[in-house]
Structure 1
Amino acid sequence: MKTKQFTADELEQAATLIRQGELIAFPTETVYGLGANALNEAAVKQVYAVKGRPSDNPLIVHVSDFEMVKQYVADFPEQTEALVDTFWPGPLTLIFNVKPNAFSTTVTGGLKTVAFRMPNNAETLKLIKISGVPLVGPSANTSGKPSPTTAQHVYHDLQGKIAGIVDDGPTQIGVESTVLDLTAKDGIPVILRPGAITKERLEQVIGQVMIDQHLISEKETPKAPGMKYKHYSPDVPVWIVDGDQKVFKKAITWAKNNNQRIGLFADEQITATFSAEVEAVFSFGEHSVEQATKLLFAGLRSLDEQAIDVIFAQAFPESELGIAYMNRLKKAANQNILKNDSIFK
């Protein structure tokens, strides 16, 4: 199969392929998604097959407007209107109880709930509208690996496996949407996956919000994507460096003593300081969690393609957007953190 790259004026062609059951990757403000007709079970099964995705991992359904959601959900929690009015289109996914048989179990992962999102990307909203159907849209990459933030990342992973990619340049946020579960029995919404829409922003609109802190084991069925203990991982092992230049220096010395070739993902000050001592660097520029988040997956992918044995990635405080950044980085690193002196012994 030849994978075609579609431009904005070729969306009719891409929509036709979706209606025919083909897979088309699409851009969002977060990462690129792998699109298929959410009402076509065979097409959805192909998404799992192409990604190598576990079949118990539910999919997010992407819509072009809130009216599309109303076709599949009978009763909406009281917070819904305020959330949709404030954050859609945008990087917020909402989990609702759906009507019986609204979607196949290939979409729901066998659950009675479905996650919906209206992405903030004009081309993708047009694509969904022209297609006339909601689209599943997990990240358009090999399952478990860093998510794609450019069309080139998608092509690298999925060329020859999907019909096409709608190319709209690099994504703006760089990590997947916040997933908010609105189906808790006590009525308190729960963040299952942190993202750019933070707990603080949500609480300004709807009041109390909880965060699900537990890590999903390989044997558990997640209620939303990205909840597994290890995820977003390159082939090269990743270690988080939580500290200043002294801690980076100790980490580099520790790796060299173990004959490890080193890649750094860090700000421009750290990468400039240690560039002569390591084999590869990827600078996200100024010391900014926004920049680090936007370039995290691109940086991990770039370093993974170089001749190194370990990646050291810079930590940020776990507050606001830093929660989403560290959530992804900890899973990429399988929770391995280098901090202070204790672990260098």
Structure 2
Amino acid sequence: MPKVLKCDPTSISFDNDGRPRITSQYTRAALRLASRRLHDLQPVAFPTETVYGLAAIALNPEAASRIFSTKGRPADNPLIVHVSSQSMLHSLLPPHFTIPPSYQTLIDAFWPGPLTLLFPTDISKIPSIITASHSTVAVRMPSHPVARALIAVSNAPLAAPSANSSGKPSPTRAEHVFRDLNGKVGLILDGGPCDIGLESTVLDGLHHDGNIRILRPGGITVEQIEEALRLAHSGHSIPRVLVHRRDFVDDAIEQAPTTPGMKYRHYSPAIPVTLLRATSHPPAGANSISPSTLLASLKSSTVANPPPKVGLLAPSESALAKKLLQDPVIQWHRYTLGSLSEMSIIAQRLFDGLLSLEQEGVDLILIEEVPEENEGLAIMNRVKKAASETCWIVPNSL
């Protein structure tokens, strides 16, 4: 059974060089124990502002290999390297590499925070297991005090994917990690629930055209990135921000991803998830159904013996949810995501909702779409990967 140690994020502060000051004795002791375990090549689960991560010393291939074995993670799915300071970042980079102006703008605006940047790999420093043998390495500086302090106390960059079995919803609480990886990880640092709840935004700005390519939307929105670049490049050529599968398609990078979350089905609980699309237009050839038809199919489904237990993840103002919940036969388990006017709250609650409904033993989870703007772009990126089926609802039936 893993040891779970509480840490107090409010007891940690940093000086200008990224060195931590820790006033809580029990937090300091927990971080030192975690550091010792990491240097003994044992993975440690820890909180970040995005999701809980499973950490190992990034520069040690044996340590990194234990992340893959613990999670059951495919070897061609690269890892993100986490640093605690810009000086630690520079220690990883090739000696003659100059950080592009657009990168420095984004580092100044969003680090520490949920933004991951691709950099050229120095193969003399970064093991190939971290990059899946690619020529680039993904790096970020987390803003969660416990995460950043653990890196600094360990005095080493940490590779850290989400602390869950590969393919499952990412954990946003220590208890999520405990339930999923019990017996597979020896130490969990509990720093409370994650503030953002979705993984970091990953971008590639290394192309010769100078444009920014978003490979995975996440905790920093496209609109925030565009605004930071606009302010910094006022009067000059502003880099375009292109989103994978919205503004460009790169099949090669999907087959051999340079960053996590692109190739494999992700974020799926152990039960089926159906995406309900009630506001966007269906593609050619797709049939839309009414809520009453959806209810009839749920009650006759072979997913469960009647009466079915159905989880429903929807915004608080959802007209579709209100109509579905009127059915008296289905055993509804509703998890309210929050208001569409506060998309950051919906992002924060998404994975917790999936994992909570799975824990409640529902037979099926229905999740309603949200607009793909601001945090909604990252939310729908995760929902589409979690869902095994999409159901289009006739809009004028609500």
Q: Structure 1 length normalisation: TM-score? A: 0.92
- Taking a change above 3 Å as real, the CA distance of residues 328 and 165 of structure 1, as seen in their structure-2 partners, is same
- Taking a change above 3 Å as real, the CA distance of residues 96 and 149 of structure 1, as seen in their structure-2 partners, is same
Q: Tell which deviates more after alignment, 134-143 or 227-236.
A: 227-236
Which residue of structure 2 lines up, in the alignment, with residue 332 of structure 1?
A: 386
CA contact (8 A) 1:216 1:228 kept: no
1:300-315 map, 5 Å: 300-315=354-369
Matched, 1:266 2:314: yes
Deviation at 1:248, TM superposition (A): 4.6
- Taking a change above 3 Å as real, the CA distance of residues 11 and 143 of structure 1, as seen in their structure-2 partners, is same
Q: State the alpha-carbon separation in 1 of the partners of residues 183 and 208 from structure 2.
A: 45
Q: Deviations over 1:266-315 (max 9, x none)?
A: 13455566074532222224344322211111111122233433211011
Count matched residues.
Answer: 339
Q: State the alpha-carbon separation in 2 of the partners of residues 45 and 109 from structure 1.
A: 11
Which residue of structure 1 lines up, in the alignment, with residue 330 of structure 2?
A: 278
Amino acid paired to 1:309: D
Which residue of structure 1 lines up, in the alignment, with residue 296 of structure 2?
A: 253
Q: State the alpha-carbon separation in 2 of the partners of residues 166 and 189 from structure 1.
A: 35
Amino acid paired to 2:266: H
Unpaired runs of 5+ residues, structure 1, are none
Q: Deviations over 1:173-196 (max 9, x none)?
A: 111010011222322121000012
Unpaired runs of 5+ residues, structure 2, are 8-26, 230-237, 280-288
Which residue of structure 1 lines up, in the alignment, with residue 40 of structure 2?
A: 20
CA contact (8 A) 1:243 1:340 kept: yes
Amino acid paired to 1:166: L
CA contact (8 A) 1:289 1:322 kept: yes
Q: 2:277 aligns with which of 212, 236, 242?
A: 242
Percent identity for Structure 1 against Structure 2 = 40
Q: Deviations over 1:35-65 (max 9, x none)?
A: 0000111111010000000000000000101
Amino acid paired to 2:298: A
Q: 1:145 aligns with which of 168, 172, 179?
A: 168
CA contact (8 A) 1:218 1:229 kept: no
CA contact (8 A) 1:268 1:283 kept: yes
Q: Structure 2 length normalisation: TM-score? A: 0.80
CA RMSD of aligned residues (A): 2.2
Which residue of structure 1 lines up, in the alignment, with residue 241 of structure 2?
A: 209
Decide which structure has the larger Cα Rg and report it: 2
CA contact (8 A) 1:263 1:278 kept: no
Amino acid paired to 1:6: L
